[in-house]
Amino acid sequence: QDDGYVRLLRRQVAEAFRDNRMIAVCQYSPLAAEDVALARHYLRRHNIEVKFFLNEVVRPVLAQSKYRNLLPLFVGRNVVLVSPEAKAKEMLRVLKSVPQISLLGACIDDTILSRKGVENFAKLPSLEASQGQTVGALALLPSRTSSLLQHGSLLLVALLHQHLKQLQAGAAAAPGSPRGSPETTAPSQSAQSP
C-alpha cells in the first residue's frame, strides 16, 4: 500500500512538470497557515498553483526526466509553483509580499532560469505587445517601399517639367529662330574651319 501511495505521488509530480509551462522552485521558511492560504489565493488568481512535494518523491522523478538539472534546487524545504502560462511577473509580485518564500530558480518554456533569469524574463514585453510591434513595423515597410519607388519617378517628372519650362522660356526669348536650330551653332563651327 505504501509503495502504491509513493507511485501516486510520483505520478502527480510528473504530471505537474509535464503539464505546465512555468515551474518555479522555491524554498520556504515556516509559515502560518493563514499566510500559506493567502499566498495560495493570490497566486491562484493568476492561475499559479502551489504544490508541496517531498524531496524524496521529487528527486527520483526529476533524475529520470529532462528536468534533472533542477535537482540541486531540491534541498531542504521546497515548494513548487506551477502554471500552464508563463506568469513570471505576477509570480514575482506575489512572492515579494511573502518573504518566507524565496525563489531559487524556474523552468519556463523548457528553459532553466536562475532567480535573476526569471526577473529578466519578467521584464520582457508580453507576446501580444511584441506581436503588435512586429505588425506595426511590417505594415510600415510596404508604405516606405512604395514611397521610395515613387520618389524616383516623381523626381523625373519634376525635372522633365522644369526642362520643358526652360525650353519654352528659351523659345519665347528668341521668337524668330526655331528651337535648337543648327543656325545658332553653325557660326561657331564655321569660325573654327579654315
Chain segment 3-47, per-residue pLDDT in tens: 888 889 999 999 999 999 999 999 988 888 888 888 899 999 999
Which residue, 41, 28, 135, 128, is CA-closest to 86? 128
Is the pLDDT at 175 greater than 70, yes or no?
Answer: no
Contacts of 77 (CB under 8 A, 6+ apart): 27, 28, 29
Mean pLDDT of the chain: 83
The rounded distance, in Å, linking the Cα atoms of 77 and 79 is 7
Please write the tens of the pLDDT for every residue from 147-157.
Answer: 777 878 888 88
List b or e across 2-36, with b for residues whose CB sees 16 or more CB atoms inside 10 angstroms. Answer: eeeeeeebbeebbebbeebebbbbbbbeebeeeeb
* pLDDT > 90: percent of the chain: 34
83 pLDDT band, cuts 50/70/90, is very high
Residues 132-137 have a mean pLDDT of 80
pLDDT at 174: 67
Residues 49-72 have a mean pLDDT of 90
Q: How far is CA 153 from CA 35, 142, 167, in A?
A: 72, 17, 21
Residue 33 lies in a domain: yes
The rounded distance, in Å, linking the Cα atoms of 81 and 36 is 13
pLDDT at 2: 67
112 pLDDT band, cuts 50/70/90, is very high
Q: Which domain holds residue 31?
A: 2-124
Number of domains, the chain: 2
Residue 166 lies in a domain: yes
pLDDT at 11: 92
Residues 61-88 have a mean pLDDT of 90
CB atoms within 10 A of CB 40: 15
Same domain, 8 and 47: yes
Same domain, 116 and 157: no
Same domain, 69 and 52: yes
How much is the pTM? 0.65
Is the pLDDT at 185 greater than 60, yes or no?
Answer: no
Residue 147 lies in a domain: yes
Same domain, 138 and 54: no
Which grid coordinates belong to 74? 531540491
